Structure 1
Amino acid sequence: MWLGNDQYQFFESILFETLGYSTEVIEVRFVSGGSINTAARVLTPEGTFFVKFNHAEKEDMFEKEVRGLRILRSTKTIHIPQVYGYGKNGGKAYLIQEFVENGGQHPAFWRTFGQSLAKLHAHTHHSFGLDFDNYIGSLEQTNSLNENGIDFFIESRLRPQAGLALYNSLIDYKLYSRMERFFPLLAGLLPNERPALLHGDLWSGNFLINEQGLPSLVDPAPYYGLREAELAFTHLFGGFDDEFYESYADVFPLEPQLEARIPIYNLYPLFVHVNLFGKSYLPPIERLVRRYLGA
């Protein structure tokens, strides 16, 4: 992160590129932007903007994010911050969005959140996947279309991440080969429901409380997938109220015994975390494999 006059010039320059006219930057306040990007709240006479930027190592990252945000926003099921623009400036890639002001949590927050996510998941497609690849964190996420949801989960989610972990010596060949033996079991363990439009990276750090006190989703990695995978991910790090799950099921009932399937779906985000942050995320993966394949 850099400070000083160059900082203000950068923000004024990208706002000019986005708005088409000059505006003064009154204040820049850096906020949490995750482990990949720097993020800031930028106050101007035209309003307050949320700006993410990085050093453009993956030039298409924000372009893919914008496409995903627009898909989710087009469903009109849950608040998605408006995108004003994205591009490159001075060797940095940037994304400018509506800044979500926190209005304090509405009493109906969790009920609305669960119902809205169920309505989002009701948006379906003829195939699993998406017509373009995107990113989860800084990792490429393959969305090759597949008519079978379990095959998609294996071929476009688990196998690529396990293979990447093996390539980077984060797992050994023994664990990788055990994963390969585990994959054929999934057809008998998971329900093969119709494709559901997913946020794709739904944990407690990727929802906000907006000005109306209701949920707003950010930082998506969307695709059409098995909806239980999204709900499973919300359990991985916690932060979701029981009312959220109850309200979801009221709108879009779930197959029985989801709790038993949650660790299976969470193999994907766990492998993502192994590849991004290291071996400390391996123990739950190893425990699951032992559970189904033995010691």
Structure 2
Amino acid sequence: MKDRWQSLPSSVVPHVADAVPLSGGAVNDVWRLTLDDSTTYVLKGSTDAPADLFPLEAAGLAALQERAGIRTPRVFEVSAHHLLMEALRPRPDTETFWEAASRAFAKLHAVRGERFGWDTDGWLGLLPQENTWTDDGHEFFAEHRIRRYLREPKVRRALEPADLAGLERICERLPQLVPAAPSVLNHGDLWRGNLVADAAGEPVFIDPAVCWAWAESDLSMIYCCDPPPERFFRAYEEITPLTDGWQDRMPLLHLREHLSVLAHFGAYGDAVAHVRDVVRVFS
């Protein structure tokens, strides 16, 4: 079993007594390691990952912790091939947990930025996330969250010319479709699978794709991907009130995720159908 990690320069590898694969990752291998002394870690690794993928993930975790004060995993070791972190617990699906997660999420969005973007590009899966500094939120979303994917070969093969034309119309109409809003700190990839818990049952945020962007664009991920109980959104609004019509805009702002799926996997699942539904409603 230890042979699996001989290519990873982790100091704990010689001491691994047991390893259990963890689910949820689409592009990397994730293992829960138990060492000879019974301490546990989570090892996220890939021998062919981009050289800065794991360092940027570690930097994103640190940014969420330092700028917003929300809980993220402690990172013990990072390299071009792996990330070694504290072992956490599965998320308890209770109203208490989801309310705490919501309040932390709202706290994240209370951190304001001056522009849209980030000081470096990042990664969403194994494709670059464009974070070019932009003064206008509509321009940022159009150029770096929609059009950015329309250049991907798998997206162009999966979609028809009419679909691409409809997405271009949406980009042009964004100022009429989405109210102007400030840039706030975004987790960038917050779905259920990226929320776990610490030993006390408190929420811990993992696998970020950080940037300064609209709060609603961040919220769209957790709203559209197997949403949590309604109490999550009520608790969020108690701290950060949402603009009228926000629920109607969630499918539009979730376009980035469907286009990312197409860019990674081609015409996979119902991603094409979702894109066409958004085009039909909003273009």
TM-score of the pair, normalised by structure 2: 0.91
- Are the structure 2 counterparts of residues 177 and 104 from structure 1 closer, same or farther at C-alpha, using a change threshold of 3 Å? closer
Alignment of 1:70-219 (within 5 A): 70-88=62-80, 93-102=81-90, 104=92, 108-164=96-152, 168-219=156-207
> Equivalent residue for 2:277?
287
CA contact (8 A) 1:23 1:46 kept: no
**How many angstroms apart in 1 are the aligned matches of 2:20 and 2:3?**
15
Query: In structure 1, what residue type is equivalent to 2:247?
Result: E
> Equivalent residue for 1:66?
58
1:264 aligns with 2:264: no
1:47 aligns with 2:19: no
Alignment of 1:246-261 (within 5 A): 246-261=234-249
Post-superposition shift, 1:32? 1.7
Deviation digits for residues 237-256 of structure 1 (CA, Å, limit 9, x no counterpart) = 21411111111100011111
Q: 3-state DSSP class of the match of 1:85?
A: strand
Q: 3-state DSSP class of the match of 1:169?
A: helix
CA contact (8 A) 1:106 1:214 kept: no
Query: In structure 2, what residue type is equivalent to 1:268?
Result: R
2:4 to 7, 10, 25: 7
**How many angstroms apart in 2 are the aligned matches of 1:273 and 1:123?**
29
Post-superposition shift, 1:33? 4.9
Post-superposition shift, 1:218? 0.8
> Equivalent residue for 2:20?
29
Q: Percent identity?
A: 26
**How many angstroms apart in 2 are the aligned matches of 1:180 and 1:38?**
36
> Equivalent residue for 1:19?
none
**How many angstroms apart in 1 are the aligned matches of 2:23 and 2:242?**
34
**How many angstroms apart in 1 are the aligned matches of 2:59 and 2:128?**
15
CA contact (8 A) 2:117 2:134 kept: yes
Post-superposition shift, 1:69? 0.9
Number of aligned residues: 280
Query: Which structure has the larger Rg?
Result: 1
CA contact (8 A) 1:30 1:40 kept: yes
**How many angstroms apart in 1 are the aligned matches of 2:216 and 2:91?**
30
Deviation digits for residues 212-262 of structure 1 (CA, Å, limit 9, x no counterpart) = 112111111010101001111112221411111111100011111111111
Q: 3-state DSSP class of the match of 2:10?
A: helix
> Equivalent residue for 1:56?
48
**How many angstroms apart in 1 are the aligned matches of 2:255 and 2:61?**
25
Superposed CA RMSD in Å reads 2.1
Q: Gaps spanning 5+ residues in structure 2: where?
A: none
1:237 aligns with 2:209: no
Query: In structure 1, what residue type is equivalent to 2:116?
Result: F
Q: 3-state DSSP class of the match of 2:30?
A: strand
Query: In structure 2, what residue type is equivalent to 1:228?
Result: E
TM-score of the pair, normalised by structure 1: 0.88
**How many angstroms apart in 2 are the aligned matches of 1:42 and 1:15?**
13
Deviation digits for residues 105-137 of structure 1 (CA, Å, limit 9, x no counterpart) = 666212111111011111111101100000111
Question: Which stretch of structure 1 is more off in the superposition, 223-232 or 39-48?
Answer: 39-48
CA contact (8 A) 2:68 2:107 kept: no
**How many angstroms apart in 2 are the aligned matches of 1:5 and 1:221?**
30
**How many angstroms apart in 2 are the aligned matches of 1:274 and 1:115?**
32
Post-superposition shift, 1:103? 8.2
**How many angstroms apart in 1 are the aligned matches of 2:227 and 2:246?**
18
